[in-house]
Structure 1
Amino acid sequence: MKRISCIIFLLFLLISGGGISAQISSEKVTTIFDDLQEPGFRKGQVIVNQSSAIRNLVGARMYGENVEKTDTETFLKVQGFRTQVFSGNNQRKSKDEAFRKEKEIKEMFPDVPTYVTYTAPFWKLRVGDFRSHEEAYHMMRLLMEAFPSYGKEMYIVREEIKIPLN
């Protein structure tokens, strides 16, 4: 039953492929399909038959609503990791502590982005925009060495991060 529903879904995608659109630049983009058509590529001959809609999508960037633009930069929002340095629920004291720790971290690591957020009732300080858990863990180890007193509160969190596109 699953096999039949998968085949029907794939047929639907092929039939409705005409509705797919992408922004295509005027310059020629070489794709894997073009490389496969060149003679002498490996030892055999490969013939690729697919609709032009699929060919146009290969290599095209389709960001949609995952792009955030500011006056100077454009960011891609994706799932990633950050190092959480602080979390507190004392309304006034936690806010001041989060911003104090952010300032200290900015002085030691000026190139690493920091984020102070308030999600009732917690003030949180998170550091970095990392694609992998390993990168976030490495930053956490650096922060623990630089600020040993913060160490017991630190851990890695999965969160939507911003990757600069410029």
Structure 2
Amino acid sequence: MRKFSYVALITAAFLTSHSAFAQEVNSDLTATTTIFDAFQEPSLSKGKVVVNQDPSIKKMVGVRLAGDKVQRTGNDAFIKVQGFRAQVFTGNQRLSKDEAFKREKEIKEIFPELTTYVTYTAPFWKLRVGDFRSHEEAYDLKRKLVEAFPTYGKEIYIVKEEVNIPL
């Protein structure tokens, strides 16, 4: 019973302070404290919270992302994690570069919100689309792309790659 109460307490505390925690992560990306440390900070509540726990629990929760894991582009911040993209084109012919950029333009016309990546890794030009944490999200995009561009259908597939996830 005591173990259940402890888990319920941590879950409730996490759910009630999630928005404050998210704001703190965004405002201080260099912090390397855990959520348990954040609970004990006076700025998150009117009272004082003391978390007594086994150190192994703190290790299981993990550490906030900071330092070289966080990338910045202008005002945007993101992390690089293993994820998935839809590969729309790959080619190693003379005109492959032009074809990759042509398809990128066509996709951007219909799906302007998508992030596209045209890359060259000798001898291949590739066009990959999206930044997804799960295969299911990337597969959903694949279905939409095949619907919008049926002639590309047989070339589109999901690839595992390091992706950019916004903070």
TM-score range, shorter chain: 0.5 to 0.7
| Pair 102,139 (structure 1): closer, same or farther in 2 beyond 3 Å | same
CA RMSD after TM alignment: 3.0
Q: CA deviation at 1:72?
A: 1.9
Q: CA deviation at 1:57?
A: 9.5
| Pair 55,132 (structure 1): closer, same or farther in 2 beyond 3 Å | closer
Partner of 1:99: 101
Question: Which runs of 5 or more structure 1 residues have no equivalent in the other structure?
Answer: 1-20, 38-47
Verify the 8 A CA contact 2:92 2:125 in the aligned structure 1: yes
Partner of 1:82: 85
2:60 maps to 1:50: no
Q: 1:138 aligns with which of 140, 163, 167?
A: 140
Q: Secondary structure at the match of 1:117?
A: strand
Alpha-carbon displacement from aligned partner over 1:123-155 (angstroms, at most 9, x marks no partner)? 000010011101101100100010000011111
Q: How many residues align?
A: 129
Distance 2:162 2:122 in 1: 19
Q: CA deviation at 1:49?
A: 4.0
| Pair 153,49 (structure 1): closer, same or farther in 2 beyond 3 Å | closer
Distance 1:70 1:102 in 2: 21
Greater share of residues in helix: 2
Alpha-carbon displacement from aligned partner over 1:31-88 (angstroms, at most 9, x marks no partner)? xxx69x7xxxxxxxxxx4435x976996751333221112221111000000000000
Alpha-carbon displacement from aligned partner over 1:88-116 (angstroms, at most 9, x marks no partner)? 0013x000000000000000001011100
Verify the 8 A CA contact 1:98 1:123 in the aligned structure 2: yes
| Pair 28,117 (structure 1): closer, same or farther in 2 beyond 3 Å | same
Distance 1:137 1:61 in 2: 29
TM-score by length of 1: 0.67
Q: After TM superposition, list the pairs within 5 Å mapping 1:14-29 onto structure 2.
A: 22-23=32-33, 27-28=42-43
Verify the 8 A CA contact 2:32 2:66 in the aligned structure 1: no
User: Percent sequence identity over matched residues?
Assistant: 58
Q: 1:157 aligns with which of 156, 159, 167?
A: 159
Question: Which runs of 5 or more structure 2 residues have no equivalent in the other structure?
Answer: 1-30
